[in-house]
Chains A and B, each alone.
Chain A
Amino acid sequence: MSEHHHDHDRTFQPDHPEPTTEAARIGLALRELLIEAGHYTVDEEREVISAMQGATPENGASIVARAWVDADYKVRLLNNGIDAIRELGFDLQPYEFTVMENTEDVHNVIVCTLCSCYPRALLGISPAWYKSGSYRARVVREPRSVLREFGVNLGDDVEIRVHDSTAELRYMVLPQRPAGTADWSEDELASLVTRDALIGTQRELDVARKVP
């Protein structure tokens, strides 16, 4: 394709590579047309991207830590995630927020086989592998093998629940609280919780990660 000569605002991030595939060019053209037709502005787009980049897995970690120290909060979180995270100042509207609890007998793992749905407004941008065709196709088909590649070796006594996030629900795993943390503060507990544990590609949390 020849160089792009009209004067649309080119606001994709400067470190973004020039589109090389037809689909990427169509996507970029559509975006420019939407802005040109006044459906949204470049500033609004920038604000949404900044908000997403401002969100991090630490938000999820603080929710997990609260659920670990407050049994009533945990019940509210598992029953109605969107209301429970609002108590802590987070929101994910217009989606429903579904938190799945790991136990001795159950391990949860999240995927979106259709695209790459992820609670971005809460946890930030998803990892590249979460969006890969390989993870999306394989984790529903052979979850035990995929988890093994992530270092999670599940015995046959543990039930796997794969959650395919295909529509309007967004998911987070509530990992198990590690042993020996009974007297830890909420902040110390939160420092153990990783992004992968919130997706379910990590099961055991490492108490050596503790940040005092």
Chain B
Amino acid sequence: MSEARFSVGQRVRIDDRMPPVHHRVPSYVKGKTGVIERVCGLHGEPEKFIRGDGEPRQRIYRVRIPQAQLWTDYEGTEWDKLEIEIFEHWLELAE
């Protein structure tokens, strides 16, 4: 579990699902595609804190997404970005 599954620069898709428990992925990024900006550490899985201690811990990645891909009528420039922390079990490689 300690080996990081993704590396900086890889394109990833954030899963679009709605677990019936507390989780830390806001709706506006679900189903969106971005690039791994940074590989972070292992942390307790939010969904598993409802009964237990969050184990096994999951890797967090910072994912960079162009703002224009999040909002169809985005007001800013095409190089504006959003960066967000996403747990590994919410990510898959995007082709």
Q: Which of B24, B28, B46, B80 has the most CB of A within 10 A?
A: B80
Interface secondary structure of A, over-half rule: mixed
B8 CB-CB contact with A under 8 Å: no
Q: How far is the CB of B67 from chain A (nearest CB, A)?
A: 7
CA A167 to CA B70, docked complex, whole Å: 20
Cβ of A144 within 8 Å of any chain B Cβ, yes or no, is: yes
Q: Tell me which residues from 2 to 61 in chain B have a Cβ below 8 Å from any Cβ of chain A.
A: 24-26, 28-29, 38, 40-41, 43, 46, 60
Interface size, A (range): 20 to 34
Contact of A166 among B75, B76, B84 (CB under 8 A): B84
Contact (A162, B82) CB under 8 Å given A167-B46, A168-B60: yes
Which listed residue, A96, A98, A140, A169, touches B82 by the CB 8 Å rule?
Answer: A140
Report the bound CA distance from A96 to B80 in whole Å: 24
Contact B40 A96 (CB under 8 A): yes
* Residue of A96, A142, A160, A164 touching B84 (CB-CB under 8 A): A164
Chain B contacts for A140, CB-based, 8 A: 28, 70, 82
Encoded as 1 (CB less than 8 Å from any A CB) or 0, chain B from 66 to 80 comes to: 010011000111011
A50 to chain B, nearest CB (A): 26
Complex contacts, A169 vs chain B, CB 8 Å: 40, 60, 62, 85
Question: 11 A-B pairs, CB-CB below 8 angstroms?
Answer: A142-B76, A145-B75, A156-B77, A159-B81, A162-B83, A164-B82, A166-B26, A167-B85, A167-B87, A168-B43, A168-B60
